[in-house]
Amino acid sequence: MSEEVQVPIASDMDVVRARQEGRALALRLGFSVSDATLIATAISELSRNIVSYARTGSVLMRSIREAGRTGMLILAADAGPGIADVPLALRDGFSSSGGLGLGLPGVRRLMDEFEIESAAGAGTRVTVRKWLP
Amino acid sequence: MEVPILKQGHFLIATIQAALSDDDLVQLRTALVHQVVRFRSFGVIVDVTAMDVLDSFASRTLVAISKMIRLRGADTVIVGIQPEVAFAMVQLGLTFEDIPTALDLEEGLAYLQQRFANAAD
């Protein structure tokens, strides 16, 4: 019984759509309004990175179950230029697009688990999870 | 979606009515800066009660709006940040720097009225 929503990302309108779908799914899974907002904020940041750096990609959101607990997984994937120096991008205060440099470290703080696969020229896949308390 | 901007005396009130895209926020910034000039406003209130999320882009744009309006000699107050949105912003590490904030529209107006008690009638 897993629920899954995939939102293709190609413009700033899709950023709004992805986070709204994500919030709705989080609430359906039983997350509090507060946690659903954290999740929606993380989705907003991840999908905006896709628009800003790769132009197109997708955000997949689904329920997960493991060892009796329930959670939500978000996979933001693109085939864009990738990140040459992943540890640097995860450091607070680093940004290559004139932003606040809070994107990835911020998303990491909002969620329980955070994984990133990326290399220059190989696209980026960020997987994050949040578990129901 | 365009954000309606209401002129009330010496103040402008922009009430965001739904989740805004990045382009909508940039349009709001442009519209407010122009209208502050056009109406010679002293203060601007941006009501974000309906914003589902205030992420890094939205926060940065609101800070930019406030700074641009400051250069025009007017003040900006952000009102209506929802508790869970505030929680997410803090977790994300975002702040509104030194932009004044108020609980709701009423408090925001009271703040501006007090600040411009002599200039406003």
Q: Are B17 and B50 in contact (CB under 8 A)?
A: yes
Q: Report the predicted TM-score, pTM, of the whole model to 2 decimal places.
A: 0.91
Q: Is residue B21 part of a domain?
A: yes
CA B91 to CA B7: how far, in whole Å?
A: 35
Joined together, the tokens standing for residue B76 give: 């900006």
| Nearest chain B alpha carbon to A47 | B55
Joined together, the tokens standing for residue B49 give: 């009660």
Tell whether the model's pLDDT for residue A29 goes beyond 80. yes
What pLDDT, in 10s, does the model give residues A72-122?
999 999 999 988 888 888 877 655 444 445 478 889 999 999 999 998 888
* Residues of B within an 8 Å Cβ radius of A: 19-23, 52-57, 59-60, 82-85, 87-89, 91-94
Question: What ipTM, to 2 d.p.?
Answer: 0.89
Q: Is residue B120 part of a domain?
A: no
Give the pLDDT of residue A98. Answer: 42
Phi, psi for residue B78 in degrees, rounded to 5: -95, 125
CA B116 to CA B96: how far, in whole Å?
A: 22
Which of A15, A16, A52 is the best substitution to test chain B (most B C-beta atoms within 10 A)? A16
- Number of structural domains (chain B) is 1
What pLDDT, in 10s, does the model give residues A103-117?
788 899 999 999 999
CA A126 to CA B7: how far, in whole Å?
A: 44
CA B3 to CA B13: how far, in whole Å?
A: 10
Q: Tell me, which fold does domain A4-131 have in CATH?
A: Heat Shock Protein 90 (3.30.565)
User: Domain holding B38: CATH number?
Assistant: 3.30.750.24
Give the pLDDT of residue B94. Answer: 86
Give residue limits of the domains in chain A. 4-131
Joined together, the tokens standing for residue A24 give: 């709705």
What pLDDT, in 10s, does the model give residues B41-84?
999 999 999 998 999 899 999 999 999 999 999 999 999 999 99
Instruction: Print the domain residue range for B104.
Output: 5-115
* Chain B residues closer than 8 Å to A109 by CB: 91-93
Neighbour order of strands in the sheet with B75-79: B5-8, B11-15, B43-47, B75-79, B101-102
Residue with tokens 């997984």: A73
CA B110 to CA B9: how far, in whole Å?
A: 13
Asked if A48 lies within 8 A of B91 by C-beta distance, the reply is: no
What pLDDT band is residue A130 in, cutting at 50, 70 and 90? very high
